[in-house]
């Protein structure tokens, strides 16, 4: 071929590609479409959307383009509609929930939506049969636990938390997460000793699913590199398989203990006792129950950490909460029965969650059908992002939104004030818990746990800046430093937990010794009764003969392990999806 022919061909190709780019550019920036930042072919707006503190950039765009409560953007071909106004969220995610309740794929997880039957992560599942039955099960278990007064577990762990803070205050961040984890492990498997691994496992999954986690969540084509060149896929395979095996081990252990009548009421036992279920088998059961334990760790630890930060920066509100608790509870830590008489505590908790929301970007839904909203076309497959940071900083609803103002929940005249104060403020129904068919199932549990934990902290300690022993200066507690995972928490910082008096310190330690001794005694009595063949008679304690009690356990467990291996292999074959 002559040089001139090659030259001409190159010119034609470049011209064709340029025309194609121009056409794409025009389509992406259609003046009749939703407003939004200028989009560039293929890239969308990936080049200037920071991974760190992504919600701040989304909010900056909201202020510029979101006057109608929503705007559009794209990232490497993925279409987003960012929702910045509660009314629009209500219209799109609640009123049109029927076709706006799917989830987007998370690239760095195998089969995150369970479209191929992995059945593993309820909050990330598409709107499919697994999601539907697992949501029902999760909802009924949490509701039943609430009705059965699970609060005893919270009081017990809050007392352990206080004692740990007295004995080793510098390790407070670990104790805080461990408290949330122990509560979930007790409710799920009746075993608080599992907490450390459960927390580790929870953070592993959270990192893997977050845009700020593996680079393959943003530069998604990298995920498709062959496994041999693909460190992300290999790491995820290891994480995934370990997590699933651990969940299955927990189920098998409970079944084994049930066979010997040695397990107290917990969600896993509840599941195994029930004959009829829509859950397909042990693999799915261990996943839905395991996921329930995990999800209650990283979510509740966020507002609890921000409670510490907030109280240090607002000693006037800390003092108000302490006064209220002292008046209402007469020298003992608050319980949930006191809650109607503790509006200041509830207002400070709610304002902490408004001021420092721990899921600031919100969780994306995905549309399942083309739609037209207020004259704007929203194609099928668009990710709808309810930007919680924007909802909670709406100055019309929250005047002076950048300031911590618990009085907005307590004094008539504020747009958010609601009576009766015995019931309001409540965090239930906050935008932070999401929307429509996908709304969070853990709102009551979160509210109860925060009242018990934050109330106990205010009863026992004054939360303060720590003083640098060398300089005598206060160590800073930053207000705006956090990680950027989907569920955030403040970066590590130092602080002091000053017992409110020697008497209270001694009382906090005594309360822990008392509850610990009682728990040890109850467990021993239960085991003793089980080993002597005594059948528990109350409703929650009646363990019926289960298949595990009939089939030799070793045989059964080997069969179940096989089921896990088969399922894990199936999931591994999704690696190329």
Measured from the CB atom, the residue of 39 and 114 that comes closer to ligand HEM is 114
Please state, in angstroms and rounded to a whole number, the distance separating the CA atoms of residues 216 and 97. 29
Q: Which is nearer to ligand HEM, 79 or 365 (CB)?
A: 365
CB of 526 to ligand HEM, least distance (A): 25
Question: Helical H runs in 47-193?
Answer: 54-65, 86-89, 129-147, 151-167, 172-189
- The CB-side HSE value for 471 (13 A sphere, CA atoms) comes to 7
CA dihedral of 273, 277, 279, 281, whole degrees rounded to 10: 50
Phi first, then psi: what are they for 490, rounded to 5°? -65, 150
Beta carbon of residue 135, minimum distance to ligand HEM (angstroms, whole number): 5
Is there a binding annotation on residue 440? yes
**Under rule CB under 6 A, residue 442 binds ligand HEM:** yes
Minimum distance of ligand HEM from residue 266's CB (angstroms): 14
Query: x-or-dash pattern for ligand HEM, window 237-276, by CB under 6 A?
Result: ----------------------------------------
Shortest Cβ 87–ligand HEM spacing (Å): 16
439 binds ligand HEM (CB under 6 A): yes
- Site for ligand HEM (CB under 6 A): which residue of 360, 434, 455, 490? 434
Q: Interface with ligand HEM by CB under 6 A: which range of 188-196, 431-439, 476-484, 499-507? A: 431-439
Give the nearest distance from C-beta 110 to ligand HEM in angstroms.
Answer: 18
391 burial type by CB count under 10 A (0-12 exposed, 13-18 middle, 19+ buried): buried
Among 309, 359, 457, 530, contact with ligand HEM (rule: CB under 6 A): 359
Least Cβ distance, residue 357 to ligand HEM (angstroms): 7
Choice from 62, 106, 384, 445 touching ligand HEM (CB under 6 A): 445
β partners of residue 499: 461
Is 259 in contact with 548 (CB distance < 8 Å)?
yes
Please report how close the Cβ of residue 575 comes to ligand HEM at its closest, in angstroms. 24
Residues 6+ apart with CB under 8 A from 445: 142, 145, 146, 296, 300
C-alpha 378/C-alpha 438 separation (Å) is: 20
Q: To the nearest whole angstrom, how small is the minimum distance from the Cβ of residue 386 to ligand HEM?
A: 7
Binding letters toward ligand HEM, positions 122-161, x by CB under 6 A: xx-----------x--x-----------------------
The reply to whether 435 sits near ligand HEM by the rule CB under 6 A is yes
Among 303, 333, 334, 406, binds ligand HEM (CB under 6 A): 303
Closest to ligand HEM by CB, 406 vs 499, is 406
The answer to whether 300 contacts ligand HEM (rule: CB under 6 A) is yes
DSSP state of 281: S
User: What tokens does 142 get?
Assistant: 């949490």
Position 299 contacts ligand HEM (CB under 6 A): yes
Does 432 sit near ligand HEM (CB under 6 A)? yes
Nearer to ligand HEM, 240 or 356 (CB): 356
Beta-strand (E) ranges in 472-514? 496-499
Distance, CA of 405 to CA of 354 (rounded, Å):
10
- Provide the β-strand partners of residue 462: 498
- Strand 78-83 and strand 383-386: the pairing is parallel
Instruction: Please report which helix (H) or strand (E) contains residue 72, including its range.
Output: strand 70-75
Window 398 to 427, contacts with ligand HEM (CB under 6 A): none
For residues 360 and 389, give the distance between their C-alpha atoms in angstroms, rounded to a whole number.
5
Nearer to ligand HEM, 289 or 445 (CB): 445
171, 269 Cβ separation under 8 angstroms: no
Closer to ligand HEM by Cβ: residue 113 or 560: 113
As measured in angstroms, the least distance from the Cβ of 113 to ligand HEM is 11
User: By CB under 6 A, is residue 296 in contact with ligand HEM?
Assistant: yes
CA distance 526 to 159: 22
Q: How far is the CB of 289 from ligand HEM (least distance, A)?
A: 11
Cβ 179 to ligand HEM, closest distance in Å?
13
Check residue 446 for interaction with ligand HEM (CB under 6 A): yes
Segment (H or E) for 388: helix 388-391
Q: Is 295 in the site for ligand HEM (CB under 6 A)?
A: yes
Q: What's the closest the beta carbon of residue 384 comes to ligand HEM, in angstroms?
A: 9
Residue 107 in tokens: 């690239």
Cα dihedral value 496, 501, 503, 509, nearest 10: -10
Residue from 244, 358, 447, 482 binding ligand HEM (CB under 6 A): 358
DSSP assignments along 16-51, one per residue = HHHHHHHHHHHHHT-TTS---SPPBTTTBTGGG--S
C-alpha distances in Å from residue 542, one per residue of 131, 153, 243, 292, 523: 30, 20, 31, 24, 16
Tell me: does residue 363 bind ligand HEM (CB under 6 A): yes
Structure tokens at 388: 């919680």
Q: How far is the CB of 181 from ligand HEM (least distance, A)?
A: 11
| Other Cβ atoms within 10 Å of 171 Cβ, number | 12
> Which residue reads 């001139």 in tokens?
4
Candidates 58-66, 156-164, 166-174, 356-364: pick the segment binding ligand HEM (CB under 6 A). Answer: 356-364
- Does position 433 interact with ligand HEM (CB under 6 A)? The reply is yes
Q: Is 248 left (phi over 0), alpha (psi -120 to 50) or beta?
A: alpha
Does 88 bind ligand HEM (CB under 6 A)? Our answer is no
198 counts as binding ligand HEM under rule CB under 6 A: no
Residue 174 CB partners (closer than 8 Å, separation 6+): none
Nearer CB in complex with ligand HEM: 73/358: 358
Question: CB of 529 within 8 A of CB of 511?
Answer: no
Residue among 194, 288, 311, 441 that touches ligand HEM (CB under 6 A):
441
Q: Does residue 382 bind ligand HEM (CB under 6 A)?
A: no
What does DSSP say about strands 365-366 and 383-386: parallel, antiparallel, or unpaired? antiparallel
Residues that bind ligand HEM (CB under 6 A): 122-123, 135, 138, 292, 295-296, 299-300, 302-303, 358-359, 363, 365, 432-435, 438-442, 445-446
Binding site residue list for heme: 440
Binding site residue list: 440
């Amino acid at each position: 071929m002559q040089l001139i022919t090659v030259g001409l061909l190159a010119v034609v190709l470049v011209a064709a590609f340029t025309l194609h780019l121009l056409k794409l550019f025009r389509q992406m920036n259609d003046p009749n479409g939703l407003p939004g930042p200028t989009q560039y072919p293929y890239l969308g707006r990936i080049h200037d959307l920071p991974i760190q503190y992504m919600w701040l950039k989304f909010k900056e765009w909201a202020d510029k383009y979101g006057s109608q409560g929503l705007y559009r953007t794209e990232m490497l071909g993925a279409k987003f509609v960012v929702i910045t106004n509660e009314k629009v969220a209500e219209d799109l995610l609640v009123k049109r929930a029927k076709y706006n309740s799917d989830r987007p794929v998370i690239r760095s997880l195998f089969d995150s939506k369970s479209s191929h039957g992995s059945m593993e992560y309820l909050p990330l599942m598409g709107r499919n049969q697994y999601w539907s039955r697992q949501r029902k099960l999760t909802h009924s278990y949490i509701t039943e636990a609430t009705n059965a007064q699970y609060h005893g577990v919270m009081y017990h762990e809050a007392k352990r938390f206080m004692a740990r803070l007295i004995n080793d205050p510098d390790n407070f961040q670990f104790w805080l997460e461990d408290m949330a984890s122990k509560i979930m492990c007790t409710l799920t498997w009746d075993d608080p000793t599992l907490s450390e691994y459960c927390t580790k496992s929870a953070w592993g999954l959270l990192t893997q699913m977050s845009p700020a986690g593996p680079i393959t969540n943003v530069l998604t084509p990298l995920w498709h590199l062959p496994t041999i060149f693909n460190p992300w896929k290999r790491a995820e395979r290891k994480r995934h398989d370990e997590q699933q095996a651990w969940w299955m081990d927990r189920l098998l252990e409970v079944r084994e203990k049930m066979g010997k009548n040695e397990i107290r009421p917990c969600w896993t036992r509840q599941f195994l006792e029930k004959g009829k279920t829509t859950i397909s088998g042990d693999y799915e059961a261990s996943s839905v129950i395991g996921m329930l334990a995990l999800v209650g760790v990283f979510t509740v630890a966020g507002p609890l950490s921000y409670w510490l930060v907030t109280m240090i920066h607002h000693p006037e509100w800390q003092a108000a909460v302490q006064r209220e608790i002292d008046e209402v509870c007469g020298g003992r830590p608050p319980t949930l029965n006191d809650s109607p008489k503790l509006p200041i505590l509830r207002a400070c908790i709610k304002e902490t969650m408004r001021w420092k929301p721990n899921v600031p970007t919100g969780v994306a839904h995905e549309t399942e059908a083309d739609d037209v909203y207020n004259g704007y076309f929203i194609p099928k497959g668009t990710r709808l992002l309810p930007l919680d940071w924007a909802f909670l900083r709406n100055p019309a609803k929250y005047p002076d939104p950048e300031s911590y103002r618990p009085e907005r929940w307590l004094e008539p005249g504020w747009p958010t004030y609601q009576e009766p104060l015995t019931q309001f403020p409540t965090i239930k129904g906050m935008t932070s818990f999401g929307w429509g068919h996908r709304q969070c199932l853990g709102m009551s549990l979160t509210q109860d746990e925060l009242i018990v934990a934050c109330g106990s902290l205010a009863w026992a300690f004054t939360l303060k800046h720590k003083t640098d022993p060398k300089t005598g200066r206060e160590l800073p507690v930053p207000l705006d430093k956090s990680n950027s995972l989907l569920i955030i928490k403040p970066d590590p910082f130092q602080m002091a937990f000053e017992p409110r008096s020697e008497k209270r310190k001694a009382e906090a330690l005594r309360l822990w010794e008392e509850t610990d001794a009682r728990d040890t005694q109850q467990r021993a009595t239960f085991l003793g009764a089980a080993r002597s063949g005594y059948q528990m008679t109350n409703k929650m304690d009646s363990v019926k003969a289960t298949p595990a009690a009939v089939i030799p356990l070793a045989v059964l467990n080997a069969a179940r392990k096989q089921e896990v291996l088969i399922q894990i292999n199936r999931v591994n074959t999704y690696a190329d999806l």
